[in-house]
Amino acid sequence: MTVILNQSFTGISIGAVLLLIALGLTLTFGQMGVINMAHGEFIMAGAYTTYVLQKSISSAGVSLLVALPLAFLVAGAMGALLEWLLIRRLYTRPLDTLLVTWGVSLMLQQLARDIFGAPNVQTSAPDLLTGNISLGGGITFANSRLFILGLALLCVLGLTLILRLTPLGRRIRAVVQNRDLAEVSGIATGQVDRITFFIGSGLAGVAGVALTLVGPIGPTMGTNYIVDAFLVVVVGGIGRLKGSVITAFALGVLQSVLEYSTTVSVAKVIVLVAIVAFLQWRPQGLYTLRTRSLA
Amino acid sequence: MTTTTTPTPSVVTPPPPSPLERFRVPAGFVLGAVLLLGVAPLVLTDFRLNLLAKYLCYAIVAVGVSLAWGRGGLMVLGQGVFFGLGGYAMAMHLKLADAATTGETLPDFMQLYGSGDGLPWWWKPFANPAFALAMTVLLPMAVAAVLGFFVFRRRVKGAYFAILSQALAAALSIWLIGQQATTGGTNGLTDIQGFFGYSLDDPVNLRMVYFIIAAVLLLLMVLARQLFVSRYGELLVAVRDSEERVRFLGYDPAGVKLVAYVVAAGMAGLAGALFVPAVGIISPALIGIVPSIGFVIGAAVGGRASLVGAVLGAIAVAWAQSELSDAFPAAWTYLQGLLFVLAVGFLPGGLASLGVVLRRRRAATRTTGESA
């Protein structure tokens, strides 16, 4: 019983990390169709922002709190710049965005290597987040993992509220559902694209801050998560936050349960087979946006 | 993207051939064959020729990429999987043959790391050279057929297909790394000594390997060209440009795409198999996500829709990579990134279309100049 509980909590915390990374992708990939391979490097930018802040602010707690909004802005600005420079030229060729942003990601990784050095660096977590909560009977939850879970849920809530309630959210949803109709209705779709990209990339930065609590910070840290995060969006369905949330936790728990009963590598393969099998049942993902589009 | 966007063909179509140009393709092919089989072995040192052999293996993958992606619009980001399956199938046989010549039954790494309970059952058939050779092509094709069947049947396409094929590459390399005792783990299968009885230490035999690789490349280019001009080739382009219309006309787009995907996988497998004797190693680092994207990038830089462009692009990028990355690792990475951004972002037809684009631009400025 203890094992099952601990294992499913591990799964939930893997899911929380996945969710945090996939949230930004749900916007940029799910809603805009852009395959942004540099998303992983925006995560890295968020992580290095935390690292730099800790150099100047000695209190780990304060620096973490400052890092969250700052990383959002830094990664968001990078994303908006990328959108303005390259991606807006490529909306008619979504698949090519993958290769172009891959080139950008190579350059950003090298930039990080030149600035911060190739070896991984470490930040110190605030005292509050270093311990464990014990529920008795050998069941323990790591505080940092709980923090990530909370952060992920907070981001989902915030994003949902923005998309549902604000005029900006309505414009974003309109552009996603029918770009041409939105354009003739007087929505500046180009501007909406840039803001959407800013938010999506900014969320990657927040994910980067969270990742400093669970692992080292290095130039290639983004690559480790990016494919899994894309799979979450694919399985969750285009442009559906609900789908991403359910999928992230489902894949996290599945992965961790399989890892326990087999090995890490076999678990990866089984998860992939499960995803292909799932797409047989629902080719458009868990939740789909109904359109009259033939594509 | 959920809105109805007509997929714009990202390819610059060449002008219709004039009578003079009818001999352009065969002449170009003969010239290429003379360069590869005659001139290169004469002027290049053994070391350079061996490097060229390695680049030609990437070029063989690019032939398949040009078919599946350039013509079929299938972004095949998992070619590393098929390259790896072919490579491992070949390497497993060569390792077993090496072991047999020294009187052992287990390859060297298994004697080090293996659990000591003999050869795994799935290694045993690879001792047979005919089986191993067949597997270098059939195994990748079978994997592609299974994945492609399920994916295309349910009309999973575009970005979804690209991500899935990428995930497959990640899964295979992670799995190989995990099975240290039977696959050599992170190191892969290294230190291959012989090639069907010929020692790979002997430069003469390495030259032979080069000739085999060059011949296979030329052969596959002829095959791909025949496919391109065939009825099937036209159907494939039709599926790329408007899958729904092809479906309404009564064809099965899933089958058309499956054939291109499976053929491209077979070519990548063959390339992997030939890579092993030329380089002497196959490892997860050569087949994961990064190299898989690399296979596609070379073709994109050269020109995905043009067979020659894709092949030359693959060779050029691989050449630049090994020439520049040793001398200026940092500068090369920036340059590489910039190359991808510029080539794919601003010249979708690749360098092969540069001439057409420039000619069209010059023509455009001339007309506007006259009208002004």
Minimum CA–CA partner of B185 in chain A: A265
Q: Is A174 exposed, middle or buried (0-12, 13-18, 19+ CB in 10 A)?
A: middle
Mean per-residue pLDDT, B119-129: 85
- A266 close to B (CB below 8 A): yes
Task: Count CA atoms closer than 13 A to A82's CA, side-chain side.
Answer: 33
- B163 close to A (CB below 8 A): yes
Minimum CA–CA partner of B174 in chain A: A265
Residue B320 CA from chain centroid, whole number: 17
Q: What pLDDT, on the 0 to 100 scale, is given for residue B141? A: 96
**Considering only CA atoms, which of B56, B99, B65 is closest in space to residue B210?**
B56
A160 is written with which tokens? Answer: 């949902």
Contact criterion met (CB below 8 Å) for B81 and B143? yes
Token look-up 């794919």 returns B344
Give percent of chain B with pLDDT exceeding 70: 91
Looking at per-residue confidence, does A202 or A62 come out higher?
A202
User: Closest partner residue to A227 among B154, B289, B345, by Cβ?
Assistant: B289
Residue A13 CA from chain centroid, whole number: 14
Which of 71-90 (A) contact B at CB < 8 A?
A: 86, 89-90
- Per residue in A97-125, pLDDT (tens digit) is 888 999 999 999 999 999 988 888 888 77
Looking at per-residue confidence, does B329 or B314 come out higher?
B314
Instruction: Check whether A224 has a pLDDT greater than 80.
Output: no
Task: Print the SS3 string covering chain A.
Answer: CHHHHHHHHHHHHHHHHHHHHHHHHHHHHHHCCCCCCCHHHHHHHHHHHHHHHHHHCCCHHHHHHHHHHHHHHHHHHHHHHHHHHCHHHCCCCHHHHHHHHHHHHHHHHHHHHHHHCCCCECCCCCHHHHCEEECCCCCEEEHHHHHHHHHHHHHHHHHHHHHHHCHHHHHHHHHHHCHHHHHHCCCCHHHHHHHHHHHHHHHHHHHHHHHCCCCCECCCHHHHHHHHHHHHHHHHCCCCHHHHHHHHHHHHHHHHHHHHHCCHHHHHHHHHHHHHHHHHHCCCCCCCCCCCCCC
Q: What pLDDT, on the 0 to 100 scale, is given for residue B372? A: 39
User: Closest partner residue to A95 among B150, B158, B346, by Cβ?
Assistant: B158
Task: Count CA atoms closer than 13 A to A142's CA, side-chain side.
Answer: 15
Instruction: Check whether B167 has a pLDDT greater than 50.
Output: yes
User: Closest partner residue to B2 among A92, A114, A289, by Cβ?
Assistant: A289
Q: What pLDDT, on the 0 to 100 scale, is given for residue A292? A: 56
Instruction: Check whether B81 has a pLDDT greater than 90.
Output: yes
Mean per-residue pLDDT, A21-36: 83
CA–CA min distance B164, chain A (Å): 8
- Per residue in A10-19, pLDDT (tens digit) is 888 888 888 9
Residues of A in contact with B176 (CB under 8 A): 265
Q: What pLDDT, on the 0 to 100 scale, is given for residue B137? A: 94
Per the document, the length of chain B is 372
Four-residue CA torsion sign, A102, A104, A105, A111: positive
CA–CA min distance A203, chain B (Å): 20
Residues of A in contact with B156 (CB under 8 A): 279, 283
User: Which residues contact residue A47 at a Cβ distance below 8 angstroms, ignoring those fewer than 6 apart?
Assistant: A71, A208, A209, A211, A212, A217, A221
User: Which residues contact residue B340 at a Cβ distance below 8 angstroms, ignoring those fewer than 6 apart?
Assistant: A99, A100, A102, A103, A106, B297, B300, B301
What is the Cα–Cα distance from A120 to A44, expressed in whole angstroms? 11
- Per residue in A235-289, pLDDT (tens digit) is 888 767 888 899 999 988 888 888 888 887 788 888 888 888 888 788 777 777 6
What is the band of A28 on the pLDDT scale with cuts at 50, 70, 90?
Answer: confident
Q: What pLDDT, on the 0 to 100 scale, is given for residue B275? A: 94
CA–CA min distance A285, chain B (Å): 10
Could you tell me how many CB contacts below 8 A there are between chain A and chain B? 154
What is the Cα–Cα distance from A9 to A208, expressed in whole angstroms? 21
What is the band of B2 on the pLDDT scale with cuts at 50, 70, 90?
Answer: very low
Please, what is the Cα angle at A223 between A219 and A225, to 5 degrees? 120
Residues of B in contact with A39 (CB under 8 A): none
- Contact state of B167 with A264 under an 8 Å Cβ cutoff: no
A237 is written with which tokens? Answer: 């369905």
CA–CA min distance B155, chain A (Å): 7
- Contact state of B337 with A103 under an 8 Å Cβ cutoff: yes
Instruction: Check whether A128 has a pLDDT greater than 90.
Output: no
- Per residue in B319-364, pLDDT (tens digit) is 988 888 877 878 888 888 898 888 888 887 777 777 777 777 777 7
- Per residue in A141-177, pLDDT (tens digit) is 788 888 889 999 999 999 999 988 999 999 988 887 7
- Per residue in B266-306, pLDDT (tens digit) is 999 999 999 999 998 899 988 888 889 889 888 888 888 88
B20 is written with which tokens? Answer: 């003079």
- Contact state of A103 with B4 under an 8 Å Cβ cutoff: no
Give percent of chain A with pLDDT exceeding 70: 95
What is the Cα–Cα distance from B61 to B288, expressed in whole angstroms? 15
Q: What pLDDT, on the 0 to 100 scale, is given for residue A158? A: 92
Best of B3, B81, B174 to mutate (most A CBs within 10 Å, chain A): B3
User: Closest partner residue to B170 among A91, A227, A238, by Cβ?
Assistant: A227
Token look-up 């990383």 returns A71
- Please tell me the least confidently modeled range out of A278-287, B91-100, B123-132: A278-287
Phi, psi of A133 (to 5 degrees): -100, 125
Is residue B130 within a helix (H) or strand (E), and if so which, with residue range? Answer: helix B129-153
Residues of B in contact with A95 (CB under 8 A): 75, 158-159, 162
Per the document, the length of chain A is 295
CA–CA min distance B372, chain A (Å): 29
- A113 close to B (CB below 8 A): yes
What is the Cα–Cα distance from B269 to B140, expressed in whole angstroms? 6
What is the Cα–Cα distance from B291 to B285, expressed in whole angstroms? 8
Token look-up 């020659």 returns B308
Mean pLDDT of chain A: 85
Mean per-residue pLDDT, B247-254: 90
Instruction: Check whether A45 has a pLDDT greater than 80.
Output: yes
Residues of A in contact with B158 (CB under 8 A): 94-95, 295
- B5 close to A (CB below 8 A): yes
CA–CA min distance A28, chain B (Å): 10
Residues of B in contact with A103 (CB under 8 A): 336-341, 344
Contact criterion met (CB below 8 Å) for A233 and A30? yes
Instruction: Check whether A78 has a pLDDT greater than 50.
Output: yes
Task: Count CA atoms closer than 13 A to A10's CA, side-chain side.
Answer: 14
Identify the three-state secondary structure at position B171. helix
- A58 close to B (CB below 8 A): no
pTM of the model: 0.86
Q: What pLDDT, on the 0 to 100 scale, is given for residue A63? A: 84
Looking at per-residue confidence, does B219 or B153 come out higher?
B219
Mean pLDDT of chain B: 84
What is the Cα–Cα distance from B193 to B297, expressed in whole angstroms? 32
CA–CA min distance A190, chain B (Å): 15
Phi, psi of A139 (to 5 degrees): -90, 120
Instruction: Check whether B33 has a pLDDT greater than 60.
Output: yes
Q: What pLDDT, on the 0 to 100 scale, is given for residue B61? A: 95
- Contact state of B330 with A176 under an 8 Å Cβ cutoff: no
ipTM above 0.90, yes or no: no
User: Closest partner residue to B167 among A33, A176, A272, by Cβ?
Assistant: A272
Best of B2, B79, B182 to mutate (most A CBs within 10 Å, chain A): B2
Contact criterion met (CB below 8 Å) for B126 and B96? yes
Amino acid identity of residue B143, one-letter, is V
B163 is written with which tokens? Answer: 């991500």
What is the band of A61 on the pLDDT scale with cuts at 50, 70, 90?
Answer: confident
Contact criterion met (CB below 8 Å) for B186 and B240? no
Instruction: Check whether A194 has a pLDDT greater than 60.
Output: yes
Top mean pLDDT of A208-222, B133-147, B342-356 is at B133-147
What is the band of B98 on the pLDDT scale with cuts at 50, 70, 90?
Answer: confident
Instruction: Check whether B14 has a pLDDT greater than 90.
Output: no
Task: Count CA atoms closer than 13 A to A17's CA, side-chain side.
Answer: 24
What is the band of B10 on the pLDDT scale with cuts at 50, 70, 90?
Answer: low
